[in-house]
Amino acid sequence: MLTTTSLIDAGTGPGIVGILALSFLLGVLHGVTPDEHTWPITVSYAIGAASGKQGMKAGLLFSAAFAVQRAIASELAFLALAPVLASGAFNAWIDLLVGIVMAVSGMYILRLGRELHLTEGVEQFLHRVLRVGPHDGTDGMPAADDRPIPVRMTLIHGFVAGWGTGAFAVIIYTVLAPAMPNAALAFLPGLLFGVGTMLVQAAAGAALGAWMRTRNLGATAMNYVSRAVAGNTLLYGGMLFAAWGLVSLLLPGIATTLDAGLPTGLGIPNLDSINAGLVLVTVIVGVIAAGSFVRAVRRVRALAQGEAHVP
């Protein structure tokens, strides 16, 4: 049976090559499994991009920044800072910060029809604290912007979210990075881990973006649906992350119990238990994103047919 322990035993035996190969493989597994810091953000931006090319770009940018972060953290772990990176308080602050960044981005998309650039005086102080939004067009939908939602913000998401320490990161920080022969090479396990995740997330982003393109909606309707899904997923998913971060900070004992969860018998991180992280990603992707998509599509199709109300 394939388990994380058997992979570590197989990978650490052959030396540096084995360590790096295992790091890459763990990164691929991390990209495939339902991680609460990668899938919600990739799904949000890929669906918002509404094209295979832009969806792939969203996955690439997010995981490229994630790979840089993992390389830095791998180096820090070699320098004996792994206990800090894996501490509950540190990860609670990361969840809170990730949640805030997601929520602000989602609010900006929903209210302004574009993405937060964090430039030009923080977009003129978020257009005076988000009081200016897109007006409604004659069809009842927000006025369309032909350009896809920019995905540059995924770089910030990827770098910030990467500091969260899940089960895969613990393996990198406590087993693989310390096994490197010197500090000059200690960043490589984290970097290879990030590259493995990058390949999967780029493919997932491309598939989601291409799938959105096949929904047979007009340009205006597609723009509305993609913005509604991306904005709602980032906004409400971010609020959930921030709330979980606060719970973890204020009630660490309860958070630790919920993080441990109920064992599933699988030996693969992110699938080995039904825990808080798995519940978060399920709610954000399976409920918020999917629900927003269904409701937005129903609305644009009802408006196209001249119906006055969409529940």
Residue-wise pLDDT tens digits, 119-157: 445 445 544 544 444 434 434 444 444 455 666 677 777
Q: Residue for token digits 């990164």? A: 27
Chain-centroid distance, C-alpha 32: 12
CA distance 242 to 96: 4
Please state, for a pLDDT cut of 70, what percent of the chain lies above it. Answer: 77
pLDDT at 108 over 60: yes
pLDDT at 2 over 90: no
pLDDT of residue 83: 86
Reduced to 3 states (helix: H, G, I; strand: E, B; else coil), residue 265 is coil
Q: Which is higher by pLDDT, 153 or 197?
A: 197
pLDDT of residue 270: 74
Q: Cβ atoms within 10 A of the Cβ of 46, count?
A: 34
